[in-house]
């Protein structure tokens, strides 16, 4: 895995109150609860963009939601969602809708966002972060999550809990 420089990320208590910032690796080593944003991108046909994480980052080659990232020092959940869409997928200029705030999962509090884009959108993903992208029907994502094959835990957990709010 290529070594990467990370900004300091926000760490929180069990109620999503900010308690400080930590280096990414230190936060993981200490078992800190971290803030993150997760985005599910849908096209006008109702398909969901699922990405396969690259071999260069954590959880290599697993399938994941459209875009996601830790909340860096000084950022808001929304700013992170916008930043990650641009960094990972080259997508800018779309309004994100908040689906759920302070969603608790193992190691995280996340705000979950949804964005709808035209079917004709051109995705230019960052190969350092993303190996490939695929547009999947809701039923295909349901099957993927049901089998738990090659997916990040966060994708399965969030989809299972929030599917009906996302679609």
Asked if residue 166 lies in contact with residue 159, where contact means CB atoms within 8 angstroms, the answer is: yes
pLDDT digit string (tens) for 58-103?
889 999 999 999 999 999 999 999 999 999 999 999 999 999 999 9
Q: In CATH, what number is assigned to the domain containing residue 65?
A: 3.90.79.10
Q: How far apart are CA 135 and CA 113, in angstroms?
A: 17
- pTM for the model: 0.92
Q: Which of 9-18, 102-111, 112-121, 142-151 has the lowest mean pLDDT?
A: 142-151
Task: Give the C-alpha separation, 130 to 36, whole Å.
Answer: 18
Residue 161 is inside which H or E element, if any? Answer: helix 153-166
Would the pLDDT of 51 be above 50?
yes
**4 lies in some domain:** no
Considering only CA atoms, which of 165, 52, 51, 154 is closest in space to residue 114? Answer: 165
| Closest of 144, 152, 49 to residue 94, by C-alpha | 49
Whether residue 136 is contained in a domain is answered as yes
| Euclidean distance between CA atoms 14 and 104, whole angstroms | 9
pLDDT at 148: 78
* Nearest C-alpha neighbor of 42 from the set 133, 100, 117: 117
Residue 3 lies in a domain: no
Q: Which residue has the tokens 């051109």?
A: 122
Please tell me the total count of domains within the chain: 1
The yes-or-no verdict on residue 150 having pLDDT over 90 is no
The answer to whether residue 132 sits within a structural domain is: yes
Alpha helices in 15-152 (DSSP H): 24-30, 77-89, 138-147
**Could you tell me the residue range of the domain that residue 62 belongs to?**
9-166
The predicted pLDDT at position 6 comes to 63
132: tokens are 């490939």
2 occurs within a structural domain: no
pLDDT on residue 2 = 44
Residue 1: inside a domain, yes or no?
A: no
Lookup: tokens for 165: 């709010």
Q: Answer yes or no: is 79 within a domain.
A: yes
Residue 90 lies in a domain: yes
- The angle subtended at Cα 96 by Cα 124 and Cα 8, nearest 5°, is 75
Whether the per-residue pLDDT at 3 is higher than 60: the answer is: no
């Amino acid at each position: 895995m290529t070594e990467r420089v990370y900004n300091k990320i926000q760490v929180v208590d069990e109620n999503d109150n900010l308690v400080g910032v930590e280096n990414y690796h230190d936060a993981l080593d200490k078992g800190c609860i971290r803030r993150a944003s997760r985005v599910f991108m849908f096209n006008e046909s109702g398909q969901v963009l699922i990405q396969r994480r690259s071999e260069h980052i954590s959880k290599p080659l697993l399938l994941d939601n459209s875009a996601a990232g830790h909340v860096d020092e000084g950022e808001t959940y929304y700013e992170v969602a916008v930043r990650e869409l641009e960094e990972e997928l080259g997508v800018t200029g779309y309004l994100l809708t908040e689906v759920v705030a302070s969603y608790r999962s193992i190691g995280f509090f996340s705000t979950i966002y949804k964005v709808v884009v035209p079917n004709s959108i051109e995705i230019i993903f960052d190969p350092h972060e993303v190996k490939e992208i695929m547009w999947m029907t809701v039923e295909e994502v349901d099957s993927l999550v049901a089998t738990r094959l090659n997916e990040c835990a966060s994708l399965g957990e969030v989809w299972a809990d929030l599917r009906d709010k996302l679609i």
